[in-house]
Amino acid sequence: MSNTNSFNQHKERLAHFISNITTPFIIAILLFVVINYYIKEPNFYLISFLCILFAGFIPILTSLLWIERKKIEIDMPKKEDRIYPLLMVIISYFIGVVVLYSAHASPITIGIMFCYFSNTIIVLLISKYWKISIHSMGVAGPSAALIYVFGGVGFYFALLIPLVMWSRIYLKKHNFFQVTMGALIGFIITGLQLTKIVPLL
């Protein structure tokens, strides 16, 4: 019995670890920095700072302030609690797109920020009726972006998707359908948008 309990404790710690390190805002920050460095963004520091500000810092800050005000869990278990922070995040992403375009950022960087903006609108619309997994979308979307930029190498990052799906189910934050739909929508929509938008920028 003790061995079983110990094994379950290790599984729960692993699930929490995976869930925490794959928070969408953290993934977004890493994604932009890695891609900006890889594509040799001429204004790397400025553009990366803007990406971190609008895709990371502001979304994190507004979400934490909302969580503190409503006294709710950081995962926002009720779909109704997601609406306001999602609106604030959408505004931040939109401003990010405008600022990056004005700063003459690389098309791929602008395109990815636009994907964050548009994908979050989809999440907002779905969240009014159903609790789709933002974690799954937050890993699957960047996976599509990395595959778009790096080719086959990007598939290594995509190996995180099933791990994230497992962690969210194991922690009872989502069911199988919610994490699967999050992953599919995030991956497909991001891939389609990048192939259509980036060539136009």
What pTM was estimated for this model as a whole? 0.92
Condensed to tens digits (0 to 9), the pLDDT of residues 135-174 reads 999 999 999 999 999 998 899 999 999 999 999 999 999 9
The residue type of 95 is I
Distance separating alpha carbons of residues 153 and 133, to the nearest angstrom: 25
The length of the chain in residues reads 201
Cα 160 off chain centre by: 13
Contact, 119 vs 59, CB < 8 A?
no
- Would you kindly state where each structural domain of the chain is located, as residue ranges? 2-200
The residue type of 27 is I
Residue carrying structure tokens 């960047």: 142
pLDDT of residue 81: 73
pLDDT of residue 77: 64
Condensed to tens digits (0 to 9), the pLDDT of residues 60-113 reads 999 888 877 777 666 666 767 788 889 999 999 999 999 999 999 999 999 999
